[in-house]
Amino acid sequence: MFPDYKQAPETDILTLMSDPYASPLRGQPAKLEGQLIGRGDAGYKFGSDLKIQDRSGMLYLHYASRFGPIGNFLFGMKRVQSLIGEQVGAVGWFRRGVAPWMDLIQLQSENGTTVNSYHRFWSFILGGGSIILGVVLTMFLSSR
């Protein structure tokens, strides 16, 4: 689900959207350069997700804080507004479902601000927690 992003090629949004094999499950590592034009959820003042625009289109950037929903809220409240309008480089995994998006790994602005996102961390925690819960429930139910 999260292939190696260190070898991500620099690309543009039109090229990503033209890939017939893009899917919501198999992320495609990509580097984009463009301008942050707003929040992912228009009008939501505390939204942590962003929209990036390059010369060929615009794309939703999905942010995940290490601290879960509380961290997403705080990031949206304190840091997002200062990033809007900046030229940035974004690295992440492009996915295309009903709507296209990029699971963000790192965002770097021209003024030196770096933002890290932790999608793999939360996938590992939720997946591991589900496995542990399944084992505990199986042991509990089989002992009855």
Domain spans of the chain?
13-118
For domain 13-118, give its CATH number from 3.50.50.60, 3.30.9.10, 3.90.550.50, 2.40.50.200: 2.40.50.200
- The model's confidence at residue 3, banded by pLDDT at 50, 70 and 90, is low
- Answer whether residue 17 shows pLDDT above 80: yes
Pick from 133, 66, 136: nearest CA to 105:
66
- Answer whether residue 1 shows pLDDT above 60: no
- Answer whether residue 27 shows pLDDT above 90: no
Give the per-residue pLDDT at 2.
59
Q: CB neighbours (10 Å) of residue 22?
A: 16
Tens of pLDDT, residues 63-120: 999 888 899 899 999 999 999 999 999 999 999 988 899 999 999 999 888 999 987 7
Higher pLDDT, 103 or 7: 103
